[in-house]
Amino acid sequence: MDTLNLYGTPLDSRLLLGTAGYPSPSVLAAAIVASCTQVVTVGLKRTLAGDGDNGFLQGVLQTLRAQGAHLLPNTAGCRSAREAIQLARMARELYDTRWIKLEVVGDEYTLQPDPWQLLEAASTLIAEGFQVFPYCTDDLVSCQRLLDAGCEVLMPWGAPIGSGQGLLNPWALRTLRERLPDAVLIVDAGIGAPSHAAAAMELGFDAVLLNSAVAHAGDPVLMAQAFGQVVAGARAGYRAGIMAAQAMAVASTPVTGRPFLIG
């Protein structure tokens, strides 16, 4: 069994799915089922602001329970460590979970995480018993500091949130995988196509988290199914051992030194 372990919770699926921007709650519910995901994120700020009625959240929770999936509340929209910490504490009370996807934005244009505020918030929350999933950049030193603070899972971006650009810096992501072999690494943000998710999994990442690529697709349910299949397939390919690229042609069927007939 090739299970994904998130803070002691074993999972079969390596696709994490967001819940924002779907055409309707019913489409979201169908996408969750089609993707076979076992972790779904929900923005607490959105819930508290009343973006959608309470029936939306209850519908999501009902779908999750039926599928045996887990809720991962997030602090999307926070601009400081203090704000993120307060929101995380509220999420723990509302959803009865120690899991928190920690987001602290430092730039309004790129929505890039603020590494200093993120580390401060992560350190405080871990000391309070939270199991933190920090949304971070692909900077190696920043990621090392988050691990030192007690994070067992890191969620480096592939590209800016919602951009759909895929993996902009494969070298940095490959370096993270090589230098942090024992950390659970999940590519979060920037995934736009199933091929982007496959590339992340083939680099050896443990999972991918995405939202817009499914929510904004022409057929979100079919796209959710596609991502679920591609992530599983690319993971299997990585485990099987991908052949090394060659600089020139190499005959698939060697014939040198063997007799053969023509005609």
Annotated ligand binding at 211? The verdict is yes
Please give the Cα distance from 11 to 181 (Å, whole number). Answer: 19
Annotated ligand binding at 212? The verdict is yes
Annotated ligand binding at 81? The verdict is no
159-197 burial string, b = 16+ CB within 10 Å, else e?
A: bbbbbbebbeeeebbeebbeebeebbbbbbbbbbbbebb
Annotated ligand binding at 190? The verdict is yes
Annotated ligand binding at 162? The verdict is yes
> Phi-psi bin for 86: left (phi > 0), alpha (psi -120 to 50), beta?
alpha
Please give the Cα distance from 78 to 45 (Å, whole number). Answer: 9
Q: Is 101 assigned a catalytic role?
A: yes
**Backbone φ and ψ of 176, nearest 5°:** -60, -45
Residue from 101, 145, 196, 235 carrying the catalytic annotation: 101
Q: Specify the DSSP element, H or E, that contains 27.
A: helix 25-35
| Tokens found for residue 236 | 């299997």
Please give the Cα distance from 92 to 99 (Å, whole number). Answer: 8
Instruction: Detail the residues annotated as belonging to a binding site.
Output: 162, 189-190, 211-212
Q: Hey, which residues are catalytic here?
A: 101
Annotated binding-site ranges for 1-deoxy-D-xylulose 5-phosphate: 162, 189-190, 211-212
